[in-house]
Structures are given as structure tokens and as C-alpha cells.
Amino acid sequence: MTSPTPLLEMRGIKKRFGATIALDGVDLQVAAGEVLALVGENGAGKSTLMKVLSGAHAPDEGQMILGEQNYAPKDPLEARRRGVAMIYQELSLAPHLTAAENILLGVEPNTGGVLKRGEMQSVARDALNQVGLSHVSPNTQVALLSVAERQLVEIARAIALNSRVLVFDEPTSSLTQRDIVRLFELVKRLREQGQAIIYISHFLEEVRELSDRFTVLRDGRSVGGGVTSQAKNSDIIAMMVGRSVEDLYPRSVREPGEVVLEVEHLQGAPKPQNASLQLRRGEVVGIAGLVGAGRTEFLRAIFGLDAVKRGKVTLGHFTGNATPAQRWNQGLGMVSEDRKIEGLALNLGINENLTMTKLPAFFNPAQRDKEATTWADKLFVKRRAVTQPIGDLSGGNQQKVAIARLLYHGCDVLLLDEPTRGIDVGSKTEIYRVIDELAREGRAIIIVSSYLPELLGTCDRIAVMCRGVLGEAKPIAQVTEHSIMVEATGTEVHAAEIPHAEAA
Amino acid sequence: MTPDISQNPGAEPASALSNARKVPDISKIIDKIGPLLGLFFVVGLFTALRPTTFPTIDNAQLILLQTAVVAMAALGMTLIIVSGGIDLSVGSNIALCTVSIALLLAKGVSPLLAILGGVVTGMVCGLLIGLLITRLKLSPFIATLGMWGAVRGIAKGMANEQTVVAPETWLNSLLNTLPDNQKWMIFPAGVWMTLLFALFVVLMLRFTRFGRHIFAVGSNEQTARLCGVSVDTTKLAIYVLAGAFAGLAGLLQFSFLTLGDPTTATGMELDIIAAVVIGGASLSGGQGSILGTLIGALIMTCVANGCTKMELANWVQQIVTGGIIVAAVTLDRFRHKAT
């Protein structure tokens, strides 16, 4: 279990916020030239642990040792100076500054406050070269770089200060498949250069590909770990959720009924190009495809959030385009792929978010809260009160509220865009169960997802979107992960390039 | 296994959750009554410092009179700020409304129609702001910064750059201290007007769909759109309604001055915004209450009044008021961190 000479060791780290125990005894070790994967469900304490490591929070108890010396950074700057650097999940660059200014932000070489431009240039140049951005000038404004390049600039910032420990916090969440492959190569190169790397991820595929060892966090405690190549996926998942995952994709026998939604040659501006689909009662249809293929735009166009250029949408006995308000009235509801930015109003309560689409012009708040409670109970939303701001809930519970909104409204047709993105395995299973239940009740559901096992597990038919064109929806028995990827990329691919099998 | 939503084994028992609701959350209570505590503090402080002149019935009347104009306009500002907007032009709007009321009265129009004229003037300004924001997609700050200058200019032009004298009507006495034979009214009519409209807005925010949509738009505009809320219509209605309150504030200001003055209420927009913010509203939207706003307006008047009673110079009052705004918002942030 223990590596020979750990460069960084965390022992018995505890941290509480008020009454909440975020970390309850975490032990972790990582050696130079090693990749340690840190896995766990959302809310297991990964982020807090990394904040302790990077000096943003001081631990209440426990000890950290870095290179045989005591390590207790008082702020992130001291952590950086000691050689511990973070690469955050959400990009944390200042878009108006140049690459060099970002890389040396807070540690700019200077004499009496006057910047040493030359030194900044050379340090930034070196760092950019190391991460494979030799074509990017240090004077480039960061806003002009692509997402993948920005992430590499972040990594450049991390290693520019002679880092010894690098922490990657779910770095692939905003990257395309090709950029992920490049990122992995870089991580492996950094390991060979003797960096100690902590890699946080939801994706077991990534853990398997990159890490030498892994540590599992659950409920603020390190509950296990080992050598990655000797552990089975099912074992790791069992450690993460604290129980074995059975019946992850509940699926009952469904009887598809009459067609409720028919889309004919739909064209949006600029995506999708051409999309046709028939959806029946009691049926779940999945839409697969690469990021940027136009799947979200397809749903948004049907729902009336984006303009329709050409084509016809028939929903029940309504034909033609409509605004979101009209779609709700017609019994069509949508869950957005981004619950924080679009899906939910974070500082409003569960009650407000749940009932927003169907509020009478004059209403009784007590009655509204009662109804909201009913639906929050049905979907097992864990909460203190139904008036609790939605931002306080975990991602899984937020998503349940977003789905509960459609049920409260009484939607017959549900458009779910990435319904389980960024939520823990337990909540995922609950959402799959709800989806199955809804289909059994005769509702019609479209799911857009980048996570193929989920589509294969929940859908009756799957259609693939490639460059804005939606293919034929084929019965689940006729498709495989491989056939979907072939269609999604428009080319023949190797099995190894199929995107992540996510945790569970 | 047959999946059934109602028999999920992984679910928390609902009873454990409802228990938590019975325990009163102290930080939540403080959160609710924070501005009120501030008011008690200010009143207590001046009562202790000037026990003979500050806590008298006459002075309390005076404080309410002095608060009415700001409070009336702050009703509209609360709606705007809760929806994530801002209105820098409300002071100019108030001045324009005093001018239009005075001009109408001078033309021999009946007082009631003059009031209507003032309110419509305010609503037209609000509609213009709303159109600038929803049609030209200007940010509320920029749109109302432009209106701040333009409306003031229109007021000066309409009034020929001087005050407009109006014949004496009952409009002049809305904010007078009550003569002895009318003591039964407790407050002057202008104060009652403000309280009545405040109650109207409280009910509207709490019990109507439009009220909740104001919060939804301020909290997350995109979510509101996704949920079928007509965001632009809601915003337009908010600014028109706020314009009406600016018109009513203009009426009260006219009553105070007994004439139309295109230069009146200069800088008052900042007092109005300060009252809303001291009352616990967030400038990023989605948060705020009418009760808080009224208390915020009262705190500001109490400070000004108390400083006068202590014979402090005007510049001292301004420093104290500035300090209170900063302190109120700082305290608010601490309260929210604690929860």
C-alpha cells in the first residue's frame, strides 16, 4: 500500500465547518514520479482535502509532511512557493491578461515593484514549452486561446515555480476527446520528470490509464486504496459508494404507445443541420454524439429556446414553433445540461425552483410549499426545509429538483440534457429509476448524454448525432458502444479511443 | 426488481427532516430581523444621547415625514434591484414629476388629474428605461445613467430652468404635520399613502406570479427563460411600475416643496439605493424585501435627524451615513457567511 519514500504525506487530516464534518481523518501519500488517483463520490471531501493541501483552508487536526519537513501553508501563495500547485476543474485564468502574466500572477519577478519583463518572458516561455505550447507566444492574451490551450496554460502556471507536487482536479471535464489524449501524455511526461501527481477524477477509465495507485475517499475519510493495476473496477466502486451497486440501470418492460413528438428535418441556426425523430409514449430515446455535434441545440430548438430555421415539430396535436412558455403548456419540459448556469436559480428555494413553470397569477404560498414538498419527497431530495436555497444542496439533489419540476408540471414529454452529469453514483441510480418509472407511466423521454453506458442502460432506442445531422434511432439491441462511436465520429475508430466508461 | 419511485430503499426518512424544521435557527432569525436590529440600535443610541429631544412623538412624526419620499421611490427600486437591475435616474424622474404636477396645476387642471399626470410621467420614463434594457440590450446601469442626465434636462427644459409655482391645493398638505383637529389620522396622508403602497407591493411580491417572477429573473435570468417566464415583459413591467412609484414620490416631494423644482432630489437616487441595500437586498439580484427597504429608509432618516438634534454639522452626518451603508452591507455579508 505505501510507496517507498513518500514525497508528500497527509496524516489524520480533519476539518469541520460549523456543524458539518468535511474531513474526518484522511491519510494519503504520494511519491515523486508517481500518479495517485483520488476517487470518491461528490461530497466525499475531495475538494476540501485539496483546499487544505493548497493552503486555502487550515486543517483542524492532522499533519502534513512535504519532503521530510513539516508542511502547513498559511495561504495558497506559500503552497506554491513550497512547490505544491493546483490545476483546477474550472479554469481559473484572468482572460484579459497575457499567458505570461497569468503564469506568473502573484509571483511576478520584480525590482522594487517594477516588473522584470525579460525574466517573465523567459520563465513563461520555458513553462509553455514544457506543456507543449511552444507555438503560443507568452504575450498572447489568454481570451484568444482555446479551452484546451487555456488548460495547458494553467498547467504551465503550476510547473513554472519548480513544483514538486501537482494536483489535477477533474481536468478533463471541459476537454474534447483529442485534447484529453494530449493531456494524458503530458501528465505521463510530468510523472517521468519526477513530479508527484495527485489526480482527482470521476472516471475510472482515466484512473486506470494514468494512475499507479489510488485512494478512495468516502464521507470525509480515506476508506481504502491500493495499486491500480491490481484492483477491479467493481471493487473501487464498492469502496466509493460503501455498498455494492446492483441494478444500476433499472429497466422494466415498456410498451411504446402512439407517437407524441415528431420532428421532421429540423434545422437550427447554425445547428442542428438536419434532424428527424419520432418519439412514442412510454419510450426512452437516447441521443449520442460528440461534444459540439449539436445535440443540445436540437433539444433547445424543439423546446423553443433557440430559433428554428427550417423543419417541422409536431407535439401531440400542436404543429409548428413555440416559445418555452407555450411548450410547457403543451406538456413538454426540459432539463438543461447546465443546472448552475441555466437550469436552476441557486439562491432561491427548492419550492420556488420546483414551481416556477406553473404558478397561478395569484397563489397561496403555503399551498405551493405543500405541493413542492410532495414532489421533493417523491424524488427523495435530501434537504433541511423545502425553502432551503438550492445552492446548498448537493449536485445530485439539485438535479432531482430540476427533474421534479417537470413532474410537478405534469409534462408528458421530457427532454433531459445530460441528466446525470457531475452527480454521484447513488443519485444517478435514483434518477435512472425515476426515468424508468416515468416511461412505464406512459411518458416519452429523450435523453442526451455523452456517457454511453448510461444511454445503453436506460434507452429503448438510440440515435447518433454527427456534425449536426441526426441518424436513425435504432433499437438498443442493434447498437454497441463501438457502433455508436463509429457513427458519432463519422470514421472507423479503435476500441481504445471510445470515451470514458465513467465510474460505475 | 420492479422499480418504484415511492419505495426507494436509499431514501432518507422524511420524518428526520421535518424534525430539523422545529428547531429555530438563530442565524436565520438574525438574518430576517438584521435591519430591524440596526434600527433599534440607531434609535437607542440617539435616545441615550439626546433623551429629551429625540424620542418624542413630534420628532417621530417628523422622521416619518422625512422618510416618505425616499421610501416611496424605494418601493420601486426594491423591485428593480431584486430583478438584478438598477435605476440611477430615479432622482431626475422625481424632479420631472414635481415639474409636471406643478405645470398641470398652473394650467388649472384638477389636483387628482395632476397626480395622474405625475404618475404617468414617471411611468413613461420607466417604460423608456425598460425599452432601452430589453430592446437595445443595454445594461441597466448604462441605460439609467443616460436617463439620469436626459430626464433632468427635460425637467429643466419644461420648467424653463426655474421653479414652477403652482396654485395652492390640498396636494400641498400631504406631508404637513397634522393640525390639532386632524390628530385622529395619526400620520399625515402622505405617510399613509406610502404605507398602503408598501403593503400592496409586499402582497404582490408574496402572492402573485409576477412577484415571484421578479425574484426568478433576478436570481437566474436563464433559468427563468427556460421555465417559460417572459423575461423581457417582466422587466418592462418592473420598470414601468417603478416609474409609477417615482411619480408618487414626485407627488410627495411636490407636496413638501409646494412647487415644481427641476433641480430637486439631486443625488436622491443614491439615498434610495442605499435604503434598499441597507434593507438587505443584494445588488446581484434575487434577494430583497419591502420591509427591509422601509427599515433601511428609516435608519437613514433617523441618523440624519439624530445628528441634527446633536447639532452636528452636515458634513459629519454625511460621513456617518456613508459609514452606515458600508457597515450594513459588511454585516450582511458576515450573516450570509455564517449560514
Q: pLDDT tens for residues B76-90?
A: 999 999 999 999 999
Q: Is B65 within the bounds of a domain?
A: no
| pLDDT band of A21, cuts 50, 70, 90 | confident
Asked whether the predicted pLDDT for residue B10 surpasses 50, the reply is no
Name chain A contacts of B286, Cβ cutoff 8 Å.
345, 347-348
Please answer whether residues A253 and A29 qualify as being in contact, where contact means their C-beta atoms are separated by less than 8 angstroms. Answer: no
Average pLDDT rounded to a whole number, residues B307-311? 89
- Asked whether residue A11 carries a pLDDT value surpassing 90, the answer given is yes
pLDDT over 70 percentage in chain A = 93
| pLDDT the model gives residue A245 | 52
Model confidence at A246, pLDDT cuts 50, 70, 90, reads: low
pLDDT exceeds cutoff 50 at A76:
yes
Q: What is the mean pLDDT of residues A16-44?
A: 85
Contacts of A378 in chain B (CB under 8 A): 5-6
| Residue B199 falls inside a structural domain | yes
Quick one: average pLDDT of A374-388?
A: 90
> Beta strands A6-17 and A20-31: pairing type?
antiparallel
Q: pLDDT digits over A92-140, tens only?
A: 788 888 999 989 888 888 888 888 888 999 999 999 998 889 999 999 9
Gap between the Cα atoms of A350 and A356, Å rounded = 10
Question: Closest to A360 (Cβ–Cβ): which among B209, B219, B222?
Answer: B209
Decide if B189 is inside a domain: yes
Domain of B259, in residue numbers: 73-167+184-266
pLDDT of A461 reads 95
Contacts of A384 in chain B (CB under 8 A): 17, 20-21
pLDDT band at A71 (very low <50, low <70, confident <90, very high): very high
Distance from CA of A357 to the nearest CA of B (A): 5
What pLDDT score does A127 carry?
A: 93
Q: How many structural domains comprise chain B?
A: 1
What is the structure's pLDDT at B3? 38
Q: How many CB atoms are located within 10 Å of the residue A110 CB?
A: 13
Tell which of A359, A408, A427, A443 to mutate to test the B interface (max B CBs under 10 Å).
A359
| pLDDT tier for residue A143 given thresholds of 50, 70 and 90 | confident
- Using pLDDT thresholds of 50, 70 and 90, give the confidence band for residue A42: low
Residue B67 lies in a domain: no
Do the Cβ atoms of A342 and B222 come within 8 Å? yes
Instruction: Pick the more confident residue, B254 or B280.
Output: B254
* pLDDT grade for B26, boundaries at 50, 70 and 90: low
A324 touches chain B (CB under 8 A): yes
Dist CA B186 CA B95 (whole Å): 28
Residues 6+ apart with CB under 8 A from B93: B121, B122, B125, B126, B147, B151, B243, B246, B247, B250
pLDDT score at B129: 97
More confident residue, A393 or A328: A328
Q: Kindly determine whether residue B223 and residue A356, on different chains, have CB atoms separated by under 8 Å.
A: yes
pLDDT of residue B291: 94
pLDDT, average across residues B253-264:
94
Q: What's the whole-number mean pLDDT along residues A151-171?
A: 89
* A343 vs B: CB within 8 A: yes
Distance of alpha carbon A381 from alpha carbon B158, whole angstroms: 60
Is B65 a residue whose pLDDT tops 50? yes
Q: Give me the mean pLDDT over the B232-239 stretch.
A: 96
Average the pLDDT over A38-53 and give the result: 83
Cβ proximity of B54 and B309 under 8 Å = yes
E strands, B230-302, where? 259-260
The answer on pLDDT for B1 being more than 60 is: no
Question: In this predicted model, which residue has the larger pLDDT, B336 or B52?
Answer: B52
Instruction: Kindly report, residue by residue over A203-228, the tens digit of the pLDDT.
Output: 778 888 899 999 998 888 898 899 99
- The per-residue pLDDT of chain A, averaged, comes to 87
Question: Looking at residues A377-387, what average pLDDT do you find?
Answer: 89
- Counting residues of chain A whose pLDDT is more than 90, the rounded percentage is 50
User: What are the residue ranges of helices labelled H in A54-95?
Assistant: 76-81
Q: Is the pLDDT of residue B12 over 80?
A: no
b/e burial code for range B273-296 (CB count within 10 A of at least 16 → b): bbbbbbbbbbeebbbbbbbbbbbb
DSSP character for B179?
A: P
What pLDDT was estimated at residue A498? Answer: 43
- Our CA-based measurement puts residue B8 at a distance from the nearest CA of chain A, in whole angstroms, of 8
Listed range (B140-154, B175-189, B298-312) with the worst mean pLDDT: B175-189
Check whether B338 has a pLDDT greater than 70.
no
pLDDT for residue B93: 97
Distances (CA, A) of A237 to A27, A216, A434, A503: 19, 9, 22, 7
pLDDT per residue as tens digits for the range A414-434: 999 999 887 877 788 889 999
In a domain, B316, yes or no: no
Domain membership of residue B68 (yes or no) is: no
Residue B10 lies in a domain: no
> In this complex, which of A250, A324, A345 lies closest to B220 when CB atoms are compared?
A345
Q: Give the dihedral sign, CA B29/B34/B38/B40.
A: negative
CB contact under 8 A, A353 and B230: no
Separation of alpha carbons A208 and A213, rounded Å: 9
Mean pLDDT over residues A334-349, rounded?
Answer: 91
Q: Is residue B152 part of a domain?
A: yes
